[in-house]
Structure formats: C-alpha cells, structure tokens
Structure 1
Amino acid sequence: MAQPALAPSTARASGALLRRSWAELPVVVRYAVVGGVTQAVYLSTLAGGLAVGAHYLVALVVAQLVAMAFAFPAYRGQVFRADGPLRRQLVAFVGVWWTGAALSLGGVPALVELGHLPPLPAQLLVLVLVVGLSFVGHLRVTFRRRPTS
C-alpha cells in the first residue's frame, strides 16, 4: 500500500525540524557522520582506481582530490557551520587536508612495501590516525571561531 504524500506545510515543518535537530548535534557527531560519508567517497574512489588497474599511489592521489572536493563544502556548511572568510578557510582546509594526505601517502606505501599489506587495508589503518588529526585541525585551524569582542 502506498504511503500518502505529506502536505507541503507538513513537509516543510518536518524538514525544518530535521535541520534544527542536525544543528543541535555536537560537532563531533556531525563530523563523524559527514566524515564517514567523505571516507566512503574516498575509499570508493580508491577501490575503483585499484579495480581498473591504477597503481595504488595514483589511486590514492585521485581519491584524495575527489574526497577533498566533496569534503570542503560539506564540512563548512554541515559540520562546522562556518561563515567566516571563504578564501582563508579554503587555504587552511587544503593545508590540513594535505597534512593528512601526506600521512596517507607516506604511511600506506610503508605498510604496503615494508609490512606487505594490501593497499586498501593499509589505508584503513592509516585513516585511524588521519581522521582524529583532521578533526582537530579543521576545528582549531580551518573553521575556528573568532572570539567576539
């Protein structure tokens, strides 16, 4: 049996409630949800690159670029709800992001070449460190709140 459609006013009210409820979640919870989606984008891109035969380092770089393009607007608008200067935030975001990417681009090859792990499990291990450092970097640097005077 088909569900009846919500009246437009009811749909708007429930949408507003959902947005308000999302905004009231702690930033770490919003980061976990949006960061989880970001990692799904990243890992899917990485797995796709590996599946078509790309060298794992090429697949890592492409996955970083795709995920970064997704993550900046999502983190800015949905996680940290930042309204500061876009250019400063973008430059800071790239700096924080590529710090984490450098850890991946160094850690994954080390685990693959020295630890003999496959690239995807190696990346998952490195992500444990990168996710925590990225959250702190974006909170304290990229989207930091300026004290009001």
Structure 2
Amino acid sequence: RSLALPIEKLAAAARRFGTDPQAPPIPAAGPSELRDTIEAFNAMQARIGRFVQDRTVMLAAISHDLRTPLTRMRLLAEFVDEPQQEKMFRYVDEMQEMIDSALAFFRDDASQEPFTRFDLPQLLNSIIDDYGDQG
C-alpha cells in the first residue's frame, strides 16, 4: 500500500503532463527507488518545458525574419503592372498563409485550427494556371 498512492500520483502526473506541459512537478514520496523515479520524471518535465519555451522564442524570431521579406515583396508588388500584380499579391498571401500554418502547427495550435472547406477542382485549376504561367 505504501507504493500504491505515490505510483498513482506519478501516473496522474504523467497523464496531466501529456495534455498540459506547464503542469507542476509532483512531490517525491515513497521508497527511495520511487522517489528517484519521480525526481527523474520532474527533471524530464522541466527539460521538456525549457525545450518548448526555447522553441517558442525561436519560432517568434523565425516568424519575424520571414514576414519582413514578405512585407517588402508586397510593397514592391505595388509598383508592378496590373496583370502581374494580382499574381504577386496572391503568391505573397499564399506564402504568408504557409508561414502562419507552419508556425501554428509548431506552437501546437494546429489541433485548435478550424477545418476549412474548399473546392478541390478550383484549387487544382488555379495551381495548373500558375504553373502554366511559369512556362
């Protein structure tokens, strides 16, 4: 019985950490082997927390670095003749959406994104037209 409660707490902490990376560490209790296991779990949880935090900072920097050239491209497109201007705006918007989607995925927000319905034949025709224009 002296093992049951600390093991149940460790199992609950592992489940909680799976859904909440900011979950607090659990107090080490029980026999020394179990305390060692709990301390190892807490250390792993702290390392993963630092990794997630570092990744978030890195993604913010990448996001800024990628958006700056896109803003420049959009500004330059303002001075392009009308037939090509619309395509350039569309390409810039497409790149912006890809960046936003990738960043959302890496921030683990992907599961919260709403599904979008789209017309597949229309999308494919648009892609074919774009590649046809490239030669």
Normalising to structure 1: TM-score of the pair? Answer: 0.30
Normalising to structure 2: TM-score of the pair? Answer: 0.32
Task: Report which structure shows greater RCO (CA 8 Å, sep ≥6).
Answer: 1
